[in-house]
Structure 1
Amino acid sequence: MHSEGMTGQGSGHGPDTVIAGRYRLLSQLGRGGMGVVWEALDTSLDRKVAVKGLLYPGAVTPVAQAQWVNRARREAQAIARIGHQNVVAVHDVIEDGNQVWIVMELLNSRSLADLLREQQQLSVPHAARIGLQVLRGLTAVHEAGVLHRDVKPHNILFRPDGRALLMDFGIATFEGAVQVTRSHEIIGTPQYLAPELLSRTPEHPHTATAASDLWALGVTLYEMVEGRRPFDGATSYEVLIAVRESPAPPMKYAGPLAALIDALLRKDPAQRPDATEAERMLQDVTRDFGALDTPAAARPARPARQEPATGAGRPETTGGGRRDRWKVPAAVLCTALLAGTAWFVWGQRDGTGAQGGEGAGKGGASHAAGAEPRYSDTHDILRIGVKRDQPGLSVKSGDTYKGFEVDLAKAVARELGFDEGQVRFVSVNSGNRSDYLRTGRADLVLATYSISDEREREEKVAFAGPYYQALKGLLVRKNRPYNDLSDLQRDPGAEVCTARDSVYESWIKTEGLAGQQVLRSGFEDCVKALLDPRTDVYAVATDDVIVAGLADKYHQKTKALESLGGAEGYGVATDAERTGLHTEVCAALAKIMDTSAGKASTWARIYDRHLKPIMKQPAPGEPQPTHC
């Protein structure tokens, strides 16, 4: 079974796959360097869990793969034995085929990254208490003989009682173990990588140590109290330079934490304090403050984070020659951020789609000196996520995408200053859309992404739009006597299918069809069941425009019932932190929907080309972009 969005993983695992006869995969929660994290159902105990594969299938030879399976098994068992209150609980370790799975508690709580996004910085006592809990969890991990290798705010969660938990051991390793990775790769997230890890080569690897994890804790403490990361840059290249060569910028708000942070951020790992000394220093700070949690020192308001301009955020240099004196292998200097837990593969672009700042000034109007550059000034390519199997909206045929959302995406790209040759379409689905934005595999997503404030908060996206208002719809079998919703309500044997966790799950219940509801992992599975005469699925509930496209494609077997109200606005989604890009997309939509010239808008022409033939009605009028 293959799930869209897992291309290159080679795992063959998708929704509804059952691992070891017990854990049914439900939906993707995220993607890391070592595979995909899934929400799963433990069918034995009827509880939701998180399941993560530890291996990267196909990355090594069969012999190395066998060695890796053996090491991953030992590693997972070691993690499962930790049992510390500040480490996420591991329920089970499973070897299934050529994969080792960790089954963990499923946490629906906020991360430290979420907290910092909301508050920008934390008070010293608050940061110290969090740091102390994380350190204690990290110490337990190290005592089990395991290194974490990706300590950062995203991997620190809070329970409802406020206790901090260290999680995500997808790229952990035994201390001193030989890393089984591809040539010229560094594992970790760039802003939190210790400098000793950046000069590794296949011939002279610098393996991670406990001191490397403590460096990452120091970066995290700095970020908590200062409201920014100590090492950053416009590109991953510049981040690596800053980590390896530049001192951390002086701290303004760290107070009594400054001494510990300075010590943890010493370039030489041998000069950093060990966990025992770090805990003593943190205890001193928390003891001095007691239970008091005073506000942080006053600081100027920080503007919303913008996409860095080319050259912004470079580490300071002296005499213009400091960078030239950094002697590290070219494989490291040329690496760039890929996805998930940040594999650095030399020759790839960074996670924002830029490559060393090249392409500045291309594809867009020039801007005044000192003005914020356009997105096309700092990016050569615009990657747009669309779906591949929604007739009328977006369909992939060979290497070509076509449909309403595809042409609308092209129009947005033109307004942003990109030529059509600079646009790259990538296939996304409902489960991985936000992950593609977060990891930079897509700059924009136009994929029937319904706008909601809750989604913006939970998935860390920003919507521009709506660009289309969809109503609720029902796709039914043509050979059944159904003409409206009431016909289904009078037929208790008719099953109505919808995607699990969709808005239709509750809607079906409110319409009195709870006993007839069938849930699948996605709408595609519902359509397959509808087309299969051996099933009792006689209707699929989804948006009316999707229903119309499917009814047109499968006109011999299905038909669309009349739209049922309940408007859902589709939005162009961007990563929440790319506020400048969001603003540009809003301006682009305004131009595309503009009717002030007295002629049909670009939006209406695109509608007429793709949707009018299947909706059987003229354009309903341009929606008002209320999310801009």
Structure 2
Amino acid sequence: MTSEQAEPGRSLAGRYRLTEPIGEGGMGRVWRGIDELLDRPVAIKELSISPHLPAREIEVLRTRMLREARSAAQLSHPSIVTVFDVVDSDDRPWIVMELVRGESLGTVLKRDGAQSPERVAHIGMQVAAALAVAHERGVVHRDIKPGNVLIAAGDRAVLTDFGIALLEGNSNLTSTGQLVGSPSYLAPELAQGGGATPASDMWALGITLFQAVEGATPFERATPMATLTAIVTEKVRPPASAGPLRPLLEKLLNKDPARRPTVSEAYEALAKAAGNAGKRGAASAMAQSPGGQDTPARPSEPGPAAAPSNAPVPAQGGATGRAALWRRILPVACGVAAVLAVIGAGLWLGSRTDEPSEAAPVEQSSTPEAEASEADESEPPEPEESGPEMTRHEDETGFALDVPEGWELERRDNGVFFHSPDGGYLQIDQTDTPGDNAKEDWEQQEGAISSGFDGYQREGIVALDESYLDAYVSAADWEFTFDGAEGRMHAVNRAFHTEDKGYALFLVSPEGQWEENRALLDEMTESFEPAS
């Protein structure tokens, strides 16, 4: 399967022509296009693949894309984006959808800030109505967020992006160790590795509405890992500007899923809070609530789903006031749905840390001496194998370090990645709000994070005292192994910080190449220079 993205003017199936990209996310692009047979505008979602993904991960993305089409196609409601067709080209699926002429709620909030409780309630009613139809048919969306709610003319709200939806009776399709969904909107039970249910969709709806009236999500932190930890461990701050929506928000954001309102109860509360705005759309919005009859697909002008949501990399979390630094540890991507996404994160891909002060290094140092003395009496020693050549990377954010030549640079929202030829990678994350003690912070976060990795096995969480780390306030490694898509993986998340800047070097390696990659991590850490 090619990873190259399409260009404007491309024709699919001799019928659909791409005109211009209108959105982009972890799984690919959304294009404005033309159905040349029916002469109507459409949205076309393109699946794009990173060249670094193994074959199994590529198949997961391909299957997820098809699931999105099937999930949305079986749901007919004015507040759910309509899927018209699925085209297979270049051995990858392309989804042809209704083109919604408008912008996402996320774009509205970014540009205009918090919205009035009445308007938010009116939008929320329509999303609740869409969820009612989905839940009745056994579909859990799993990624409710402002970016997946499109706002068209007349404040018509349309729910999009069923790419990670879970259909009743189908397998929970994720990459190995991956946390699915956008970290800020994940319910506590999902952040701890639980399964998705209608109640977890209701939590995400609550976070979305909270953000719409307050201007920010209640658990937003510097990294996904910190966000996930806050979701699990901290109380929801009371909304200050929610007005009539406050009682509903407090119920939707109950950490016990059994105590959250049903979608029908939420709809009734939203209609009441919306006042006249709600009355105008109430009848049509819930025309397909559970037990109701299907209504015609929708108004004439079709439109695009929001940019594909993804978590192609780490999962993260962190308690208030503690290091947001060590959060972005699980590239589930990775995710990393997102993840894991939990992130990226994610949630996300697994990792492990090394214990630098154990007996093994001592044994290794004594053995070469013995061998060397014997060799002196017989034949000249063979020349030592040298590691790969290193090249200096000076990052645009200010830090610098040496990396092996041949490791390919990739920039993502959740950090800088260097992909090694053996299938591993180094992820570098940073924060302006580091915690006081790297080791204690890793220990605090392990419980919430480890459940996101299949076959997780802790190797150790240890403070580091190497001389090349003397300039930092504290440093620690979290090492563990896990089951990756291509076999057993070994990883270490190395955290270190100054008074005002924290860094994490997250190394993931195939088990067979661990020793040499672990040695490279030490070399890269020793060469590291923080931003000034």
Tell me the secondary structure at the aligned position of residue 110 of structure 1: strand
Question: For the Cα contact (< 8 Å) 1:33–1:171, is it kept in 2?
Answer: no
Give the structure 1 partner of residue 223 of structure 2.
235
| One of 105, 110, 122 as aligned partner of 1:129 | 122
d(CA) in 1 for partners of 2:131, 2:204: 11
Give the structure 1 partner of residue 201 of structure 2.
213
| One of 42, 50, 54 as aligned partner of 2:43 | 50
d(CA) in 2 for partners of 1:172, 1:194: 15
Give the structure 2 partner of residue 222 of structure 1.
210
Question: For the Cα contact (< 8 Å) 2:42–2:98, is it kept in 1?
Answer: yes
Deviation at 1:421, TM superposition (A): 5.5
Give the counterpart letter for 2:182 in structure 1.
T
How many residue pairs end up in the alignment? 334
Question: For the Cα contact (< 8 Å) 1:232–1:314, is it kept in 2?
Answer: no
What CA deviation, in whole Å up to 9, does each residue of 1:512-543 have, x standing for no partner?
xxxxxxxxxxxxxxxxxxxxxxxxxxxxxxxx
d(CA) in 1 for partners of 2:129, 2:234: 29
Give the structure 1 partner of residue 174 of structure 2.
181
Give the counterpart letter for 1:93 in structure 2.
V
| Gaps in structure 1 of 5+ consecutive residues | 1-8, 201-205, 293-312, 324-329, 356-398, 402-408, 429-435, 444-628
Question: For the Cα contact (< 8 Å) 1:86–1:166, is it kept in 2?
Answer: yes
- Show the 5 A alignment for 1:376-525: 413=396, 417-419=398-400, 439=413
- Show the 5 A alignment for 1:264-279: 264-279=252-267
Q: CA 1:208–1:350 in 2, change beyond 3 Å: closer, same or farther?
A: closer
d(CA) in 2 for partners of 1:59, 1:34: 15
Deviation at 1:151, TM superposition (A): 1.1
Deviation at 1:273, TM superposition (A): 1.2
Give the structure 1 partner of residue 164 of structure 2.
171
Give the counterpart letter for 1:14 in structure 2.
A
Question: For the Cα contact (< 8 Å) 2:3–2:48, is it kept in 1?
Answer: no
Instruction: Report the TM-score when normalising by structure 1.
Output: 0.45
Question: For the Cα contact (< 8 Å) 1:121–1:224, is it kept in 2?
Answer: yes
| One of 14, 33, 46 as aligned partner of 2:6 | 14
Query: Is 1:109 aligned to 2:102, yes or no?
Result: yes
| One of 155, 158, 181 as aligned partner of 2:151 | 158
Tell me the secondary structure at the aligned position of residue 255 of structure 2: coil
| One of 223, 246, 249 as aligned partner of 1:261 | 249
Tell me the secondary structure at the aligned position of residue 24 of structure 1: strand
Give the counterpart letter for 1:80 in structure 2.
A
What CA deviation, in whole Å up to 9, does each residue of 1:396-430 have, x standing for no partner?
xxx999xxxxxxx97x94xx7444859x99999xx
d(CA) in 1 for partners of 2:400, 2:61: 48
Q: In percent, how many aligned pairs have the same letter?
A: 36
Give the structure 2 partner of residue 281 of structure 1.
269
Give the counterpart letter for 1:24 in structure 2.
R
- Show the 5 A alignment for 1:361-376: none
| One of 141, 151, 158 as aligned partner of 1:148 | 141
Query: Is 1:245 aligned to 2:233, yes or no?
Result: yes
What CA deviation, in whole Å up to 9, does each residue of 1:173-231 have, x standing for no partner?
3135322322111121110011111222xxxxx33222221111000111112222111
Instruction: Report the TM-score when normalising by structure 2.
Output: 0.53
Deviation at 1:67, TM superposition (A): 12
Deviation at 1:103, TM superposition (A): 0.7
| Gaps in structure 2 of 5+ consecutive residues | 281-316, 352-389, 418-532
Question: For the Cα contact (< 8 Å) 1:73–1:95, is it kept in 2?
Answer: no
Highest CA radius of gyration, 1 or 2? 1
Greater relative contact order (CA < 8 Å, ≥ 6 in sequence): 2
d(CA) in 2 for partners of 1:263, 1:192: 15
d(CA) in 2 for partners of 1:275, 1:54: 32
Q: CA 1:333–1:420 in 2, change beyond 3 Å: closer, same or farther?
A: closer
Deviation at 1:132, TM superposition (A): 0.7
Question: For the Cα contact (< 8 Å) 1:331–1:346, is it kept in 2?
Answer: no
Give the structure 2 partner of residue 343 of structure 1.
339
Q: CA 1:346–1:105 in 2, change beyond 3 Å: closer, same or farther?
A: closer
- Show the 5 A alignment for 1:586-601: none
| One of 138, 148, 156 as aligned partner of 2:131 | 138
Q: CA 1:79–1:344 in 2, change beyond 3 Å: closer, same or farther?
A: same
Question: For the Cα contact (< 8 Å) 1:82–1:141, is it kept in 2?
Answer: yes
d(CA) in 2 for partners of 1:420, 1:61: 32
C-alpha RMSD of the superposition: 4.6
Q: CA 1:10–1:173 in 2, change beyond 3 Å: closer, same or farther?
A: farther
